[in-house]
Amino acid sequence: MSQNSELKALLERLGPVRVISHDRSFSDELLPVLLRRDPGPFVTAIAVAKRLFASGMPMRAAHAVINRLAAAGTATCDIPADGGIDDLAVELPALNVHLVRRRTFEEPAAFLTAVRARHNLSQRDFAAALGFDVRTLQNWEQGRNTPDTAVLLLVALFDRDPALVTSALYEPVAKREPVPAE
């Protein structure tokens, strides 16, 4: 019997999922997180769902997260900003689930400048390595414009592994046999 079917059987024995309201209201600001469970049987599913609910997640949403965790081992979800995300990150590992929050970039201009400096690249070389126009990079670094999150994530990947980003952005030119002279 698969882990997913074991979880479904357990949930069916518990009965239908009831809509339960929270005893306090949580903020509307939601923080995206990724949950990853440890390999092996997922015997703590109910406890994880209860803990997610206590953090402000609706029970139906917690149930859906548990199903994704059981099936795929990971699940993305949103937790209210005032739902005790730091406490949740500390408590879930005891239930064989780990939480990480989506990376944020508070000062994009400073981040871009710091990455470029760490790799000892000029603006022109840095822009070329990442496939950007140098004027666009200059505007970002000067704070005149703000890069979107995808750009910042590409820069973060470059910071960790420049060769990976370079290999994704550039491809080899196909080799051709020389044309014989007549």
Position 176 scores a pLDDT of 80
Closest C-alpha among 32, 33, 29 to residue 100: 33
pLDDT at 72: 94
Q: Are 92 and 35 in contact (CB under 8 A)?
A: yes
pLDDT at 17: 55
pLDDT of 178: 80
HSE-up (13 A, CA, CB side) for residue 106: 0
Give me the pLDDT at residue 2, please.
62
Please count the other Cβ atoms lying within 10 Å of the Cβ belonging to residue 97. 27
Q: Specify the DSSP element, H or E, that contains 148.
A: none
What pTM value is reported for the model? 0.65
Take residue 141 and report the two structure tokens written for it: 């670094």
Predicted pLDDT at 29? 86
Could you tell me whether strands 97-101 and 74-80 are parallel, antiparallel, or unpaired per DSSP bridges?
A: unpaired
Domains of the chain: 3-101 (no CATH), 108-169 (1.10.260.40)
Residue 23: helix, strand or coil by DSSP? coil
pLDDT at position 81, please? 85
- Average pLDDT for consecutive 10-residue bins of the chain (182 residues)? 66 63 68 93 91 91 94 93 88 94 90 96 95 95 94 96 92 82 73
